[in-house]
Amino acid sequence: MLDPEYRVPDHQYRNLLKAILTNGTFVQTQQGVRAYTLMAPRPLRYEFSNGFPMITERNLNPKTSERLPVTIWQQAIGEIIGFINGARTQDELESYGCYWWKDWVTPEKCAKRELEPGDLGPGSYGAAFHDFPTIYGTFNQVEKVIQQIREQPQLRTHFISPWIPQYTVRLKGTVQKVVVAPCHGWMHIRILNGELHFGLFQRSADVVVGVPSNMVQYAALAMMFAQVLGYPLRAFYHSFSDAHIYEDQVEAVQTMLNREPRSFPTMTLRNGFTNIFDIRREHFTLTHYNPHPGIKAIPVAI
């Protein structure tokens, strides 16, 4: 990895914001807020030699408090670690350091899906990654992909999916068994010339609020895979189907676009892990992060 002073500021995220505002279709959404929507924008490619992909257009490392003892990037990493360990309730996710699901797992929303309050559902990320249902019982996708890479690293089939269709489909006479159909989490890992490449496909992308956290958590997950498998980490690729900016987020977007990009920070993961399920958010350390100030109260569509 390049020393911080030699890193080049990255423009890909801001170019994505511009492309959506310029070329997106302005449509009504399921959440009741209109959004500029762009299908299949240019994928983002981040070489880890240029730093850890974490936006600087706003601060993802604000001060913590007694009410919220973790910052945005720590919650993002805590969430993905919870998911690969099978977490599917608000209480379980909070034990990993992620607190932002409470508005999606209210008693009213869960009752609509015949779930207990606080339960994301059997169609959620943790259930899919760790306990995917099969006729033979549950299947731990992360564990098996790691085993497959160790045995046959040359394969193109190191793939993980968050989608359990029988729980996500919406049809008359059926009950959707997930509070939010998975928006991200289609992962493709490839070993090329002895280096690990990590691809993420995102079905639905709130580019203002969600995507910056998704970048952090999956880039961190790529670091986790690389360490336990013993490969140097080359690049993180982030592609989208439906990328959108909600109407009430445009002011925040304009603020970010008026700020110059800064170089990416350094993220380190404590050495010595051979089991990916032993890693926790506390094992990550962020340094050399110099973002612009945070932007308070960016609306989130629920």
Max Cα-Cα span within the chain? 59
Residue 110 appears among annotated catalytic residues = no
Find the helix packing angle between 141-151 and 210-229, rounded to 10°: 40
Which phi and psi angles does 44 have, rounded to 5°? -100, 135
Identify whether the C-beta of residue 200 lies closer than 8 Å to the C-beta of residue 218.
yes
Residue 192's contacts (CB-CB under 8 Å, 6 or more residues apart) are: 234
Question: What's the token pair of residue 26?
Answer: 């302005």
Backbone dihedral angles phi then psi of residue 110, each to the nearest 5 degrees: -70, -40
Catalytic residue, chosen from 183, 250, 295, 300, is 183
Give every CB contact of residue 61 below 8 A, 6+ residues apart in sequence: 71, 72, 73, 286, 289, 291
Helix and strand numbers, DSSP H then E, in the chain = 9, 11
Q: Do 126 and 83 form a contact (C-beta atoms < 8 A)?
A: yes
List all residues 6 or more positions away from 134 whose beta carbon is below 8 Å from its beta carbon: none
Active site positions, annotated: 183
